[in-house]
Structure 1
Amino acid sequence: MPAALLPADDHVHSEFSWDTGPHASMRDACARAVELGVPAVAFTEHVDFTRWSPGDVPLVHDQRPRDPGWYQPVDVQAYLESIEACRDEFRGLTVRAGIETGEPHLFAGSVERVLAQGPFERVLGSLHSVVRHDELVGVGRVLRAEHPHEVVREYFGELLEMVRGSAVFEVLAHCDFPRRYWPDKRNLYRENDFEDEYRAVFAALAASDRVLEVNTASPLASVRLVRWWRESGGRRVSFGSDAHVPWNVGQHFAQARDVVEAAGFRAGRDPGDFFRV
């Protein structure tokens, strides 16, 4: 298979994301993309907040939204300088600047202030947490302590609120993020159990003419799931490895491309663009 047929990787993290380790490298991620024949990469660094700011929608006034933990802000100036250095070195690779913003419907003011600092070409919206005791708590932690089906339905309800309540992001990342942390090994996560919830989120996303991501760090989406997106009015699909180390750039992309094509989407004229109906 010609390498150029692989999709763009629109969800990559580098040393500028707070949750990457010593092996993360924007330059090495670009080199890996070139090696695989991935035509474009977007470095969508984590943008998460641990304090409420003007323009946000706080859960409780005068309290932090979550434990600061390891969360760190992005050094935007250094990040953009690294983007330019990679563009200079890897002339045949499209290198895009971007962010992955967590819970953007709650942090509208904070996100807008980050976006004002530079030209970000890919903006992903993500939901990583649910509310517990007036604080945002990682959904994986909640899944381990509570009934998983109820937690996932709650998650989809909040995801629908995020889609309806924030227009700042173009691409919805890992729409079923909790499946990564599904705790019941005897009864595996089943998309059919949550069809109504998926379709509600997809319909809202499609109505705003935005893009659904197929995230290959999660268990791969099925053809059925991507068809639900198309049947809900979805017109475009993005691919994201969610790589936090260079060797995961473009992981499982050939298989993911086959899934998306089987659901009726095709690559555009620009190999670095979204797949479309």
Structure 2
Amino acid sequence: MTLPSDNHVHTEFSWDTGPDASMVNTCRRAVEIGLPAVSFTEHVDFTDWGDHDHPPVDAQVGTRKRVLPVDVDGYLASIERCRHEFPELRILSGIEAGEPHLFAGSVAAVLRSGTFDRVLGSLHSIVHDGKLVYANHVFRSWPAAEVVRAYFAELLRLVEGSNMFEVLAHCDYPRRYWPAAREGEYREADFEEEYRTVFRALASSDRPLEINTSSPLASVSLMRWWYEEGGGAVSFGSDAHVPVRVGDKFDVAVDVVEAAGFRPGRDEYDFWRR
């Protein structure tokens, strides 16, 4: 089986990676397992509102202790070194823009600072008690289903309110932190209408949906909802933060996406399409 490209990978240039993160070693691993391409989509997050951002009314950015700006020059230099060292691997530059609808000006400033082949849009945070905080922290004080519905409502605003990203990443991010011991198993069907509403909006903008293999893997049913709502393409992303995880579970993800009705695109580097 020819594996698809991994379009969501982090290296030492992302603020949330550890000492084992390595762009060079990730490229080496990608070649070993037969990936045709990788996109190094480093985290772009912010600790305060900047010029031309769109903060929710009276909301402050909550504490983000570890968040640091991307070293764009160092990152792009590393990309060029890896392209030279691994000519058999297509290597794309990119960012994962957190809350791009809210940090529009700040994200635009980063995009102006270099050349980025791929931009992911992601939502990690929602407003709680007047602060923009990581959605998983809200499970401590809100019913779990309420957290997820608030997340989807904000995700819809992201899709409809930003044209700065190409691919929507991990569409149900809080699912990773679902308090199963308290609430029982997470059921996609409980939030079918929320998923479908976001999918319709994303499909109308003609942008791909990511199947993220770091999150609990989407079911065939969920990917069929994307297909049924007019979704035209699927992007595969491991969300790897260490080299060993690049391309992780792609064999299973391929089966899921194929069963939902999508097929390989124009070439091995393309998104999968309906």
Give the TM-score band, short-chain normalised.
over 0.9
Q: Is 2:31 aligned against 1:34? A: yes
Q: Is 2:96 aligned against 1:71? A: no
Shift of 1:123: 0.4
Shift of 1:59: 2.9
8 Å CA contact 1:59, 1:65 repeated in 2: no
8 Å CA contact 2:60, 2:132 repeated in 1: no
- Structure 1 unaligned blocks of 5 or more: none
Q: 2:21 aligns with which of 15, 20, 24?
A: 24
2: CA distance, partners of 1:69 / 1:135: 14
Q: Is 2:178 aligned against 1:178? A: no
Q: Deviation digits for residues 194-220 of structure 1, max 9, x if unmatched? A: 000000000000000001000000111
- Number of positions where the alignment pairs a residue of Structure 1 with one of Structure 2: 273
Could you say which residue in structure 2 is the equivalent of 1:113?
109
Could you say what secondary structure the match of 1:99 adopts?
strand
2: CA distance, partners of 1:192 / 1:27: 41
Could you say what secondary structure the match of 2:83 adopts?
helix
8 Å CA contact 1:15, 1:26 repeated in 2: yes
2: CA distance, partners of 1:252 / 1:68: 30
8 Å CA contact 2:168, 2:208 repeated in 1: yes
Could you say which residue in structure 2 is the equivalent of 1:86?
82
Q: Is 2:44 aligned against 1:47? A: yes
Q: 2:245 aligns with which of 243, 248, 253?
A: 248
1: CA distance, partners of 2:64 / 2:170: 23
Q: Deviation digits for residues 177-235 of structure 1, max 9, x if unmatched? A: 01100002361000000000000000000000001000000111011101100111101
Shift of 1:118: 1.3
* Residue correspondence of structure 1 range 1-277 to structure 2 within 5 A: 2=1, 5-60=2-57, 64-185=60-181, 187-277=184-274
Q: Deviation digits for residues 36-87 of structure 1, max 9, x if unmatched? A: 10110000000001111111012356x7412131000000000000000010
Runs of 4+ in 1 over 4 A off after TM superposition: none
2: CA distance, partners of 1:74 / 1:275: 30
- Structure 2 unaligned blocks of 5 or more: none
Give the counterpart letter for 1:71 in structure 2.
V
Could you say what secondary structure the match of 2:211 adopts?
strand
The alignment yields a C-alpha RMSD, in angstroms, of 1.1
Give the counterpart letter for 1:136 in structure 2.
L
TM-score, scaled relative to structure 2 = 0.97
TM-score, scaled relative to structure 1 = 0.96
2: CA distance, partners of 1:59 / 1:267: 40
